[in-house]
A and B are shown apart, each in its own frame.
Chain A
Amino acid sequence: MTPSRTLDDIVATIGVAHDERAPLRIRGAGSKDFYGGMLAGDVLDVGGYRGIVAYEPTELYITARCGTPLAEIDAALAEKGQMLAFEPPHFGSATAGSSGATVGGCVAAGLAGPRRQQAGSVRDFVLGVKLVDGTGQVLDFGGQVMKNVAGYDVSRLLAGSLGTLGVLAEVTLKVLPRPLAETTLVFELDAAAAVARLNQWGGQPLPVSASFWHDGQLWLRLSGAHAAVEAARGKLGGAVAVDAEKHWISVREQTHPAFAGQPLWRLALPSTAPDAGLDGLRAIEWGGAQRWYAGELAAVRGAAARLGGHAVLYRAPESLRCREGAFAPLAPAMLALHRRLKKTFDPRGILNPGRLYAEF
């Protein structure tokens, strides 16, 4: 199928697919083809609909078309000393032939990086979305202001919806200043001690912006005013890491060896959750709230649920993801509600069917 370069192209393609009841698989750069459930339908390539539409540093927002590479957005923000505070992964910018994640895919997948624990998730930064729904209709939700409670908050609902409710043709994100100072400390700790320390620090006014435990080492990033970072460093001890920036990029991009095993499970848990009693713990992030396991783990979904969280089959062969489901199954009433919501935006179920759940 011909790539869509304009909003009209996207609208027209979806309109035809709607008429023909033909499934479409929405794709920006394809950097997250590995993520979620089944890939079905003709590719609707929206990577060509790109470009920053508006960027107002003093209003703290950026509006960009879906195909805009995150790298381009990061560069524009860096020029004004600002950033996407949820630190999303770019996946694939280093590999040949791929410019890395697009902003549309970033919001649709809802994946945040190391700074999530301090700044918040992708949806916390979504201010507005221009959506092309499953009938080819263009809808504008939210806007460009920080506070807006008129109507249901559909733009935040779209974060993490994996394109099942529509094409996020244009997104507006809140941006923040980059921290004035940053430093990384390293501690030798086992996993249980690391989780205990992270929660203890979390209850204190410390400028902790990222944490990463792997193989007996806890990396802790401090970000903020010079004085705050210095004071925290004195208080916390640990060894100051060299080459810390490279380290955090490898965590964000999941090129760090901790993420190498397959199948790779992501557990989202209350930060204080005790050890899940599973083999294969690879890494702990987000102050203890995001934990990574590798291996064939039959009991993982039950263990995560018992601890008050859930498990995502994050990287695995498609056959396994289709069999197990990429995401924890929904209770029947919740599944029914999801189906009704899906229907409100995509009545014929043509957009990314099966990408979130096999049932819709």
Chain B
Amino acid sequence: MPTTDSAFQTDRTALAARLATILPAHCLLVDDEDLRPYECDGLTAYRALPLAVCLPENEGQVIDVLRTCHQLGVPVVARGAGTGLSGGAMPHAQGVVLSLARFNRILKVDRDSRTAIVQPGVRNLAVSEAAAPYGLYYAPDPSSQIACTLGGNVAENSGGVHCLKYGLTVHNVLRIRVVSIEGEVFEVGSEAPDAPGYDLLALVIGSEGMLGVVTEVTVKLVPKPELAQVVMASFDDVAKAGDAVAAIIAAGIIPAGLEMMDKPATAAVEPYVKAGYDLEAAAILLCEADGTPEEVAEEIARVTEVLTAAGARDIRVSQSEAERLRFWAGRKAAFPAVGRITPDYYCMDGTIPRKRLAEMLSAIAGMEKKYGLRCANVFHAGDGNLHPLIMYDAAQPGEWERAEAFGAEILELSVALGGSITGEHGVGVEKINQMCVQYATPELEAFHRIKAAFDETGLLNPGKAVPSLHRCAEYGRMHVHHGDVKFPELERF
């Protein structure tokens, strides 16, 4: 939950006047009615109206905006398509939103080197579409890929349903061009396999707009597999489904996708999509194989064997591309389908070791009773990334607060089970308190020092991603770890 940040006080009139000298009128929004569409990102529960929105059209303008904000001491929040689910692009009430929406050109697609150079406002799916004539595509495919941008993907280190086999954004981006808060341009990574010095590319990817503003990205493209086929298996017990996932990995198979949905999720989806899911099953698994036709046939046979041995009550293999897409349609429509059966839902993003899945799901069932809210679960089972969808009604007093507490308990249990509070959505403002549970003082201090090495004045996206130590001390649910109280050096309030 965000709190009011009183560290910055901006003279709105002076700021608007300065920005007007460096940006043409159509690149600058300062009236409240124009700012309204920017007051939140995909996490609509948290909102703030910025003082201005800048929509630069070239790198020179980005540099000018950042230099100006640096001189005036004004916070800057970079923004792509605003599809993020953790409030990472939520504006600062005393700051500027720097939208990269107009950086929407694909600068180069190179068939020979299998790379593309794109601006940060290019949509994820547009990269694959531009590469398709060469038989290539960009592998990370977050479910928002028709709308989300590469710049946002870099900021959040986005994943998708295929990252067990093809990796996250960090595995598929080769080079980025960054502007610092002082307006200095630097490049990290390289179109070669590595670059001299520290691996700053890995550090900047996933840094949630805290270290710099991305103006150009080189991505790796990979050959499109000739064929993909999916096995759908249903289980009458969630633990069995979890064990089946482990059995697939133990058999030496890394599927292109390995997804799980529980009964409430399939119940929400089936009337909406008619994917043909087994509505009696406690959980269904979708396991995709891709490659040459021979390779796919071999893998599908082995997966089927493993799933049968793991006690699947029903197994179906897609017999056509249309059927494969239909099996997937349900999974991909899970969020909107849940949105149809509840006024609002809150999507979580914890990661746990796969073997703790059944434990987690039974704990979530307990929390549904405790908080009086329903929850449907979709799960990137292959890499342990759980997306519980907590259903609530924002119009009912207290329901959002209960949903928020429910979500926090899931995240904290993820840490206790050996996992993480976020697999692919980022910390943003949403999970800032849970960072206090995942990390202790020394790591948080190290994060703050790293931030200062890039942005000494702390103007880039303040209040996101890494909590202050005082915030952690104030947060009521600190965990006792190995009998030690975290943050013992701080007073309790």
Contacts and interface: CB of A to CB of B under 8 A. Distances in A.
Contacts of B139: none
A203 B193 contact: no
18 contacts: A58-B247, A58-B355, A143-B419, A144-B418, A145-B420, A147-B163, A149-B156, A150-B438, A152-B451, A153-B206, A154-B450, A178-B252, A199-B112, A228-B291, A231-B292, A268-B193, A272-B110, A334-B197
A260 interface: no
A334 B203 CA distance: 14
Interface stretch (A10-18, A212-220, A340-348): A340-348
B191 A333 contact: no
A192 to B, nearest CB: 14
B160 to A, nearest CB: 10
A120 B167 contact: yes
A149 B422 contact: yes
Interface of A: 56-60, 81-82, 110, 116, 120-121, 123-124, 133, 137-141, 143-154, 156-157, 159-161, 165, 176-178, 180, 199-200, 202-207, 224-228, 230-232, 268-272, 286, 289-290, 308-310, 312, 327-331, 333-334, 337-338, 340-341, 343-345, 356-357
A290 B197 contact: no
A286 B426 contact: no
Contact of B199 (A145, A159, A334): A159
A228 B292 contact: yes
Interface in B219-237: 223-226
Nearest to A269: B192
Contacts of B249: 57-60, 177
A202 B159 CA distance: 23
Nearest to B356: A59
A324 to B, nearest CB: 13
Nearest to A178: B252
B192 A310 contact: yes
Interface in B43-61: none
Contact of A344 (B135, B383, B446): B446
Contacts of A232: 292
A205 B193 contact: no
Contact of B425 (A149, A178, A271, A308): A149
B209 interface: no
Contacts of B426: 149
B200 interface: yes
Contacts of B113: 199, 270-272
B190 A147 contact: no
B454 interface: yes
Contacts of B252: 81-82, 177-178, 180
Contacts of B462: none
A328 B196 CA distance: 6
Interface string B362-401: 0000000000000000001001110000000000000000
Contact of B295 (A159, A199, A224, A271): A224
Contact of B196 (A150, A161, A327, A341): A327
B15 to A, nearest CB: 27
B490 interface: no
Nearest to B222: A205
Given A139-B446, A146-B164, A152 B206 contact: yes
Contact of B450 (A120, A152, A331): A152
A154 B199 CA distance: 10
Contacts of B447: 151-152, 154
A272 B112 contact: yes
Interface of B: 110-115, 134-136, 156-157, 159, 163-164, 167-168, 170-171, 184, 186, 190-200, 202-203, 205-207, 210-211, 223-226, 246-247, 249-250, 252-254, 291-292, 294-295, 297-299, 351-355, 380, 383-385, 418-427, 431, 434-435, 438-440, 442-443, 446-447, 449-454, 465-466
Given A268-B194, A337-B200, A147 B351 contact: yes
A40 B226 CA distance: 53
Given A57-B250, A327-B197, A151 B466 contact: yes
A205 B443 contact: no
- Counting chain A CB atoms within 10 Å of each CB, the highest count among B110, B211, B353 belongs to B353
A57 to B, nearest CB: 6
Contact of A58 (B163, B205, B246): B246
Nearest to B248: A58
A205 B384 CA distance: 27
Nearest to B136: A203
A308 B431 CA distance: 39
Nearest to A141: B443
B193 A290 contact: yes
Nearest to A161: B198
Contacts of A159: 199, 202
Contacts of B225: 205
Given A151-B443, A180-B252, A203-B135, A157 B423 contact: no
A153 B450 contact: no
A150 B421 contact: yes
Given A149-B423, A344-B450, A160 B168 contact: no
